[in-house]
Copies of this chain bind each other. A is one copy, B any other.
Amino acid sequence: MILTVTPNPALDLTWRVDRLVEGGTHRADAGAARAGGKGLNVARVAHAQGAPVLAVTTAGGRVGAEFADELSASGVPHVLVPVAAETRRSIALVDESAGDTTIVNERGVSPSDAEWGAVLAEVVERLPAAGVLVISGSVPPGTPEALLPMLIAVARDAGVPVVVDTSGPALLRAADAGATVLKPNAAELAESTGIDDPVHAARTLLERGAELVLLSLGADGMLAVTDDELVHARLDEPLAGNPTGAGDAGVAACAVLYAEGERDPETVLRRATAWSAAAVLMPLAGDISPRWTALAQHLRVTRPDPALFRKDPS
């Protein structure tokens, strides 16, 4: 079973407009409301692909009630820890003619220490049945720094590998605390480590204890970096659509394979890249197109010279 933890869930609201004009007024059909947040999206994708999942997160206030309703309607198995603070909203405006999406994410409000304790207790209770723990997304401002290290530690103690998708200082703390797989994008990696060269930056995370870094390069595909290997996978042509769930689909692919005992970096990379690309084709984060198997056949997979990824010295 894939156990996901989403520290900063959001009610994701998505609207589609014909053409977004800054400062303009637009009409749209009713927006889609989804229980979102990266760990929820990971759970949805894995669940839709037939993997057993359990999503653990928080819910508070009226927005949290709407979030809870939609999550129940989705059929994704979940546990909600009640919190006092209102669940945040996240909005996406999909510009159908430009093919891009404008996103505004609220920062969110941290649960109390006691509420975080309840989240941790829920995870501890579920770990014996888990094949992998996924910790995905931002943490709200005010979250105790010890939260992610504690979640990682209880999982590693239980022999459960941990996949972490987060940014900023939390990314480094996750590496130090024993996260098995880290999945930053190139910007997050450079910002956290202070190192522009993505392969070098990824190797510093491996030095801190990680086994695999899956590095998203956006339209340029994805890298898998381990102590011994550097593998690059990409599509010939980047796809247009809604990219908001692409990273989460990649994490879901990794989690599904890890839960099945698969550890080969190239195998994980191929599926993560194909599922990421397939997510772009779908209107809402948390879904992937059934075309992913065809996309997987069309990946270019190479083992490049790390020097190719170094940025020109400025």
Kindly state whether residue A105 has any CB partner on chain B within 8 Å: yes
Q: Within residues 12 to 66 of chain A, which ones have a CB less than 8 A from any CB in chain B?
A: 13, 15, 17, 20-31, 62-63, 65-66
Tell me the bound Cα distance from A3 to B82 in angstroms: 40
Residues of chain B with a CB closer than 8 A to A86's CB: 30
Residues of chain B with a CB closer than 8 A to A100's CB: 22-23
Residues of chain B with a CB closer than 8 A to A17's CB: 104
Residues of chain B with a CB closer than 8 A to A69's CB: 62
Q: Within residues 72 to 92 of chain A, which ones have a CB less than 8 A from any CB in chain B?
A: 86, 88-89, 91
Kindly state whether residue A158 has any CB partner on chain B within 8 Å: no
Kindly state whether residue A109 has any CB partner on chain B within 8 Å: yes
Copies in the complex: 2
Q: Are B104 and A26 in contact (CB under 8 A)?
A: yes
Size of chain A's interface in residues, with CB distance under 8 A? 36
Given known A62-B62, A62-B66, A62-B69, contact A15–B104 (CB-CB < 8 A)? yes
| Mask: chain A, 196-234; 1 = CB below 8 Å from B; 0 = not | 000000000000000000000000000000000000000
Kindly state whether residue A102 has any CB partner on chain B within 8 Å: yes
Residues of chain B with a CB closer than 8 A to A20's CB: 22, 102
Kindly state whether residue A154 has any CB partner on chain B within 8 Å: no
Q: Are A103 and B30 in contact (CB under 8 A)?
A: no
Q: Are B106 and A30 in contact (CB under 8 A)?
A: yes
Kindly state whether residue A98 has any CB partner on chain B within 8 Å: yes
Tell me the bound Cα distance from A103 to B27 in angstroms: 8
Tell me the bound Cα distance from A69 to B131 in angstroms: 43
Kindly state whether residue A95 has any CB partner on chain B within 8 Å: yes
Kindly state whether residue A107 has any CB partner on chain B within 8 Å: yes
Partner of A105, one of B25, B103, B104: B25
Q: Are A98 and B28 in contact (CB under 8 A)?
A: no
Q: Are B22 and A102 in contact (CB under 8 A)?
A: yes
Kindly state whether residue A295 has any CB partner on chain B within 8 Å: no
| Mask: chain A, 136-159; 1 = CB below 8 Å from B; 0 = not | 000000000000000000000000
Q: Are B109 and A15 in contact (CB under 8 A)?
A: no
Q: Which residue of B lies closest to A106 (CB)?
A: B30
Kindly state whether residue A101 has any CB partner on chain B within 8 Å: yes
Kindly state whether residue A93 has any CB partner on chain B within 8 Å: yes
Could you list 15 further interchain pairs (A-B, Cβ under 8 angstroms) beyond the known A15-B91, A30-B107? A15-B104, A20-B102, A22-B95, A22-B100, A22-B102, A23-B95, A23-B101, A25-B103, A26-B103, A27-B105, A27-B106, A31-B89, A62-B65, A93-B102, A93-B104
A-B contacts, 11 of them at CB < 8 A, read: A22-B95, A24-B102, A25-B103, A26-B103, A26-B104, A28-B106, A28-B107, A30-B107, A66-B66, A91-B93, A93-B104
The 7 closest A-B pairs by CB, nearest first: A23-B100, A25-B103, A62-B66, A26-B104, A15-B104, A30-B106, A28-B104
